[in-house]
């Protein structure tokens, strides 16, 4: 399927998940190549966040399998491994409010990777420079603008050297004038060859960066297509209806 010798970054087959009796992910199959950029879109409640969280090991699932770079994750230990291979960026930033930006970035490297404080701080400063907020390192999240907070959250995830970055609507909570700075950071990241799965409704970003676009509705993947084809010739009528609404 991937055509190469090395296993795909993410391989999901027959994934099923229920919240109580609510079937939120139904027979999901998805393969993401290494260094591929995928944008996932779909109406609210279609299961995009849940899918991302399953890949990250944050949510248990009841059927199917997920493999990261060939390693299956089911069971507790594997879920923990998954978290170490993936970095997650949330819609609501979720920076640790009681820690400075720098401490946010060094917490996991120090306590999970057992890195020395100085090395962890150097690493954090590198990534904060990469997202262009090195001067905010000593501030608390509450003293930053929304765009700066989300970039700090991206730097925090990068400090754990993930193989795959997962984004769950990273710009939806931002004021319009701050969306661009966060998308810019994500474009930089994409150009560095990072494997990325992005839930977003920023179709401009999808056009610019994504290799393929996934459209989800009611817990199912409705359509997967290369970006150009997805926007030019959407095949499923639900995709067309969705694009019609969102692009207007």
Partner 1 sequence: MSETFLRTAEVPPRAPPAAVGGPFAWVRRNLFSSLGNAATTLVVLALLALVLPPLFRFLVLDAVWTGGSGEACRPEAAGRPVGACWAFIHEKLGYLVYGSYPLAERWRPDAVFALMLLGGGWMLWLDAPRRGLGALFFFGVFPVAAYLLLAGAPALGLKPVPTGLWGGMIVTFVVSLVGIVVSLPLGILLALGRRSDLPVIRLACTLFIEFWRGVPLITVLFMANVMLPLFLPGDITIDRLLRPLVGVALFASAYMAEVVRGGLQAVPPGQAQAARALGLTELQILRFVVLPQAIKIVVPGIVNTFIGLFKDTTLVSIVGIADFIRVLESARIDPRWAAPSVPVTAYAFAALFYFAFCFGMARYAAFIERRLAAGEGAR
Ligand X SMILES: Nc1ncnc2c1ncn2[C@@H]1O[C@H](COP(=O)(O)OP(=O)(O)O)[C@@H](O)[C@H]1O
Contacted by 170, from Mg ion, ligand X, partner 1, none: CB < 5 to 8 Å by type: none
Residue 211 in contact with residue 189, Cβ under 8 Å? no
One character per residue 78-117, x = contact with partner 1 (rule: CB under 8 A): --x--xx-xxx-x-xxxxxxx--------xx--xx-----
Looking at residues 1 to 60 of the shown chain, list those that interact with ligand X (rule: CB under 6 A). 19, 22, 24, 42, 44-50
Residue 54 corresponds to which tokens in the numbers above? 């399953």
213 binds ligand X (CB under 6 A): no
Residue 212 interacts with, from Mg ion, ligand X, partner 1, none (CB under 5-8 Å by kind): none
Least distance in angstroms from the C-beta of 138 to ligand X: 34
Contacts of 19 (CB under 8 A, 6+ apart): none
Find the shortest distance in angstroms from Cβ 15 to ligand X. 13
106: contact with Mg ion by CB under 5 A = no
Among Mg ion, partner 1, ligand X, none, partner that 47 touches (CB below 5 to 8 angstroms by kind): ligand X
C-beta separation of 12 from 55 below 8 A: yes
Q: Residue 1 belongs to what H/E stretch? A: none
143 phi, psi to nearest 5 deg: -95, 5
Quote the crossing angle between the two packed helices 146-158 and 101-111, to the nearest 10°: 20
Cα separation, 142 vs 20, whole angstroms: 36
Three-class DSSP category at 233:
coil
Binding site for partner 1 (CB under 8 A): 56, 58, 80, 83-84, 86-88, 90, 92-98, 107-108, 111-112, 140-143, 149, 153, 156-157, 160
């Amino acid at each position: 399927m991937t055509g190469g010798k090395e296993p795909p970054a993410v391989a999901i087959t027959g994934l099923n998940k229920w919240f109580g009796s609510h079937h939120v992910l139904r027979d999901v199959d998805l393969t993401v190549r290494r260094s591929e950029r995928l944008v996932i879109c779909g109406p609210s409640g279609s299961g995009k966040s849940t899918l991302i969280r399953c890949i990250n090991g944050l949510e248990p699932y009841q059927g199917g399998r997920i493999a990261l770079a060939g390693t299956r994750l089911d069971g507790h230990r594997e879920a923990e491994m998954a978290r170490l291979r993936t970095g997650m960026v949330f819609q609501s930033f979720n920076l640790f409010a009681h820690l400075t930006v720098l401490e946010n970035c060094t917490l996991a490297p120090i306590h999970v990777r057992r890195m020395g404080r100085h090395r962890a701080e150097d690493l954090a400063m590198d990534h904060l420079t990469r997202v262009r907020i090195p001067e905010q390192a000593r501030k608390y999240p509450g003293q930053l603008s929304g765009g700066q907070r989300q970039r700090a959250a991206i730097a925090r995830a990068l400090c754990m050297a993930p193989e795959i970055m997962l984004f769950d609507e990273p710009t939806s909570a931002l004021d319009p004038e701050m969306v661009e700075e966060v998308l810019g950071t994500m474009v930089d990241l994409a150009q560095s060859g990072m494997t990325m799965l992005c839930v977003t409704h920023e179709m401009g970003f999808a056009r610019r960066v994504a290799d393929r676009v996934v459209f989800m509705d009611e817990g199912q993947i409705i359509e997967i297509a290369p970006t150009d084809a997805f926007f030019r010739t959407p095949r499923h009528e639900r995709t067309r209806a969705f694009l019609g609404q969102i692009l207007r």
